[in-house]
Structure 1
Amino acid sequence: MRLRREQIVATALRLLDDVGLDALTMRRLGQELDVQAATLYWHVQNKEELLDAMAEAMLAGCADGAPEGLSWVERAAELAERLRRALLAHRDGARVFAGTYVAQDNTLRFSDTLVGALRDGGLSARAAAWGCWTIVYYVIGFTLEEQALAGRPGKGPGKGDPERFREALERGAYPHLGATLPHLVSADLDARFRYGLQLLLKGLEAEPEATPPAKARTRPTQADDKRRASRRSG
């Protein structure tokens, strides 16, 4: 059977889930596909191009069926949630996605939809573009930490184990950390993600470059007519 690029990318994502990004090499991918590594280079020039293709594949469907009837803030939040879910769907997904600059359909449609939501909020072209980047960077950064701190199944607790943090606080005087400890070690990552996202979106709502809504034009009242007539006669 002729090897196809889509088959290579799908196998790479499956292998990523099995062994993680550090162990994902072109040689190992070739072994998984039962081909020589050199054969892969007919379809992807190098590992960087492979990672770009994997990042593009992870975003499949993220911009589809954009919810209607929501405010621009709610639409932007929904898109950010979709991006996070897409990255969490694969082991080291955020690491794969970080640093890629893919100019392909899934990525471009997602970005276009997010920028469109921000522009519907009255943001200028610059504010919408940079606001889009800021949201994407927040999602990547949060998810990078989320995946780095999580334990792997069967491997015990990960680096984010609350007990490790509590033990460290007991060895020194950190009154402010101690006072906020329950929140610092909260396992409700969904709530933590949404809290930060809402802070970001509230900042964009207050963006000074936003176009103010047009004022409704009202018909002059009788009192307005009298004031204008008085000014003319004076």
Structure 2
Amino acid sequence: MSSPSTPHPAEGARAARGRPPRLDQGRTAQAALELLDAAGLDALTMRRLADAVGAQAGALYRHFATKQDLLTVMAERMLEGCSAPPPEGDWSERLTVLAHRMRAALLAHRDGARVYAGTHSTGPNTLGFAETLIGVLRGASFRDEDAARAVLAVVNFTVGHTLEEQAALRPGGPDAAEPGPADPDGLRRAVAAQGLPHLTAALPVLTSTDFAAHFAFGLNLLVQGLRATDRNGPAGAVEAGRP
């Protein structure tokens, strides 16, 4: 049984006749993440969240002026632990660890990438993660401008990839009888019907659900591009003759 000092997020106020439980942003954000995992982003409404924490819907707006504010706090909470310094090693290995860490954090919650996309938290988890990433690159003698743009590229790639990954794995119809957003058989039929030889050759990878391999490949491309960056010439320049 939960103690009064640690109420379960799903406990409603309907059962209580007295004063409703005092809201705090952290407990409310955790309840929102639990609702997200249970029902998905589309079902997460301020009214359902208010019911989950045993409060009136209007009371939530004292902490979150809009639903976007709520999503920003949820995104900040999801990145908890991601800013810890990665193991010692080459800068590319450390950057790779951090990117995989972020992907895992987003995958830990249903529709996690959808929640994170478009948020701009200034909380300690989000800023700490960016600080660690930039620190890895500046420590490897990347210019400030290049380090900043590299971080944007890595974060945007990670969020975008995870967004597509979670969308592809989202269940289909009510009883999963209908295909979900990703329909490999439909793609195979369309390619065969149009007689597209290059796509036919690529179908085994294009229809693969090995998203970890897809992510690792794309991330490696980013890393190799960063290796080609000339850290001594003008910002953004590329060394001539580098493969």
Tell me the TM-score normalized by structure 1. 0.85
Matched AA of 1:120 = G
Structure 1 residue corresponding to 2:213, chosen from 191, 194, 199 = 191
1:109 aligns with 2:131: no
Aligned residue in 2 for 1:206: 228
- CA-CA distance at 1:66 after TM superposition: 2.3
Q: Secondary structure at the match of 2:43?
A: coil
- CA-CA distance at 1:191 after TM superposition: 0.8
1:62 aligns with 2:62: no
Aligned residue in 2 for 1:215: none
Matched AA of 1:95 = R
- CA-CA distance at 1:65 after TM superposition: 4.6
- CA-CA distance at 1:2 after TM superposition: 1.8
Aligned residue in 2 for 1:227: none
Count of aligned residue pairs for this structure pair: 210
Matched AA of 1:126 = E
Matched AA of 2:197 = P
Q: Does the aligned pair in 2 maintain the 1:121–1:205 contact within 8 Å? A: no
Once the two structures are aligned, what percentage of the paired residues are identical? 47
Matched AA of 2:176 = K
Q: Which has the higher contact order (CA 8 A, sep 6+)?
A: 1
Aligned equivalents of 1:88, 1:158: Cα separation in 2? 18
- CA-CA distance at 1:84 after TM superposition: 0.4
1:16 aligns with 2:11: no
Aligned equivalents of 1:120, 1:94: Cα separation in 2? 29
Q: Does the aligned pair in 1 maintain the 2:170–2:180 contact within 8 Å? A: yes
Aligned equivalents of 1:211, 1:80: Cα separation in 2? 26
Structure 1 residue corresponding to 2:188, chosen from 166, 171, 181 = 166
1:102-158 CA distances to partner (integer Å, 9 max, x unpaired)?
A: 111000110000011111222100000010000000001101100111133963552
Aligned equivalents of 2:83, 2:133: Cα separation in 1? 9
Q: Does the aligned pair in 2 maintain the 1:72–1:118 contact within 8 Å? A: yes
The 4+ residue runs of structure 1 with deviation greater than 6 A are none
* RMSD of aligned residue pairs (Cα, Å): 1.6
- CA-CA distance at 1:95 after TM superposition: 0.8
Aligned equivalents of 2:200, 2:107: Cα separation in 1? 30
Aligned equivalents of 2:133, 2:139: Cα separation in 1? 10
- CA-CA distance at 1:34 after TM superposition: 2.0
Tell me the TM-score normalized by structure 2. 0.82
**Residues 114-153 of structure 1 mapped to structure 2, 5 A cutoff:** 114-152=133-171
1:25 aligns with 2:45: yes
